[in-house]
Amino acid sequence: MKAVAAGVPALDPFFDENSGLGKDAQVTSRPVRGSLQQGDTPGLYGGSKQPTVCEVDQLKQFLTDPRNDQKAQAWARALAISTDRIPDYLDRLTPVLLRHDTLVKNHDYKKGKAVPYDSLLQAGIAILIDAQGRPAVKCSCGNPLRPFAGDTNRISVKFEDGNQEWKGYDRSSVVAVRPAPRPLEKIVLVDVDDTDRGISRPVGTSGAKDATFDTREKRAVPNLAGASFGQARRSLTDKGLAAGYDSEGLPPDDARVTATDPPAGTELGFGQYVMLSVAGDSGSSDGSTTAPPPTTTAPPQSSTSEPSTPGSGSGSGSPPPSSAPPSSGPPPGTSPPPSSGSPSPPPSSSPPSPPPAVITSPPVTTSTSPPPPVTTSAPPETTSSAPPPPQTTSTPATSEPPTGGPASGQPTESATV
């Protein structure tokens, strides 16, 4: 993992760093609340009053010049497009400035080919992003960029070739960008020179059509308890707030939100994080709990949060343990009339009472075994007159009361910047 500092020329760039393709800025990296963020996360990217941080037209001229055909072919292959699509592709990219130290797959140009390598771009570097907020091009050298595909929690950054470790670098506060769920019409940025100023930039424009807004305008945190993680994230994005999480991996979209920090009703400025605690993915076998679920005893939860957000199958099965035992039937399997017999419930009716209550103890109960053999509704076989050995009775002795499934307490569209 190579560090790439703002303003430091690449050793093997696609184009001369002095050609004026783009200019980096001095930006202090912001901490992140979850290393994987979607391309529409409010506050993810920054902008500037000077829209010329990336000269898209000049880059287009270079790549369509027949003298640069070999570079153009390598450049297009790195981005999985054909050379004839380069002009249209560039027209749909938007210039921004990184506000976070950001992981990408970078490319050098060596011996006529694009050579990929993982790199960490310092906050302040000017890049072009696509319509789903993914880094696509490093402006100053024209190098193509692709999303980082590795584990963000297992990186080792090398600071070399003039890229000294920059002030404020924090290995635990880097971000990798995942695509927004759907293409965006505008990219919502924060002015890196004046963070009280927001910039709404139409996709594919360089600043001429920017609209501005006040990032200090307060937005109330919505009530997200019971919503799925995906639904909660979209609700926050629509309000101009960022979704945060504490787990190592991004929670699944159908993980159920149990609480927010700060709580619903709190007013925050644009791009501020709302931490989401989730109970987990109902479909995952071993609910990978992410944030600490405050109260995850499933029985009380089922009556409140499920109706509003069924999630993706989160309401089926395990949460309500009280309903599972009767249907799954813990009967010992050999007692012929367990359910149609006398109204007295069989011992398997699992209300979790500590002792195995001896309910219908008939007069002939003094056998040798400590738990008196409950001779309920004597089965047809036991009509033999041997009173002492009550062995032939249906012995549901300690047939583990099926406590149902154990309650599964399992556990950034306007692109941001």
A 10 A CB-CB count for 49 gives: 13
Q: Taking the CA atoms of the chain, what radius of gyration do you get in angstroms?
A: 31
pLDDT of residue 301: 40
102-110 and 146-147 as β-strands: parallel, antiparallel, unpaired?
antiparallel
Would you call 28 exposed, middle or buried from its count of C-beta atoms within 10 A (0-12, 13-18, 19+)? Answer: exposed
**DSSP H or E stretch at residue 96:** strand 94-98
Cβ atoms of 112 and 104 within 8 Å: the answer is no
The sign of the CA dihedral 104, 108, 10, 142 is negative
Angle at alpha carbon of residue 287, lines to 284 and 293, rounded to 5°: 140
The sign of the CA dihedral 138, 141, 145, 149 is negative
Give tens-digit pLDDT for 15-55: 988 778 888 999 999 989 999 999 999 999 999 877 668 99
pLDDT of residue 48: 87
CA distances from 145 to 30, 78, 120, 258, 378 (A): 22, 8, 11, 37, 77
Give tens-digit pLDDT for 8-24: 998 899 998 877 888 89
Q: Would the pLDDT of 382 be above 50?
A: no
Give tens-digit pLDDT for 68-94: 999 999 999 999 999 999 999 999 999
Mean pLDDT, range 268-294, rounded to an integer: 63
Mean pLDDT, range 93-103, rounded to an integer: 97
Residue type, 62: F
Give tens-digit pLDDT for 142-180: 999 999 999 998 999 999 988 999 998 998 889 999 999
The sign of the CA dihedral 235, 237, 243, 249 is positive
Order of strands, edge to edge, in the sheet holding 273-278? 242-244, 273-278, 257-261
Write out the two tokens for 326: 């009767």
Rounded to the nearest integer, the mean pLDDT of the chain is 76
Cβ atoms of 153 and 100 within 8 Å: the answer is no
pLDDT of residue 51: 60
CA 153 – CA 173 distance, rounded (Å): 10
197-202 and 186-191 as β-strands: parallel, antiparallel, unpaired?
antiparallel
Give the range among 99-108, 120-129, 337-346 with minimum mean pLDDT: 337-346
Distance of CA 28 to the CA centre of its chain: 25
Q: Would the pLDDT of 375 be above 90?
A: no
CA distances from 121 to 2, 77, 108, 174 (A): 9, 22, 14, 9
Q: 4: helix, coil or strand? A: strand
pTM for the model stands at 0.68
Write out the two tokens for 397: 């002795």
CA 381 – CA 258 distance, rounded (Å): 53
Cβ atoms of 25 and 6 within 8 Å: the answer is yes
CA 144 – CA 106 distance, rounded (Å): 6
Task: Supply the DSSP string of 369-413, one letter for each residue.
Answer: SSS-----S--GGGGSS--S-GGGS---TT------SPP------
The sign of the CA dihedral 268, 240, 255, 351 is positive
**DSSP H or E stretch at residue 60:** helix 56-64
Give the percent of the chain with pLDDT over 90. 58
Q: 325: helix, coil or strand? A: helix
Closest listed residue to residue 229, CA positions, set 312, 344, 130: 312
Mean pLDDT, range 345-360, rounded to an integer: 43
Which range of 43-57, 61-75, 328-342, 379-393 scores highest in mean pLDDT? It is: 61-75
Q: Which residue shows structure tokens 């497009």?
A: 81
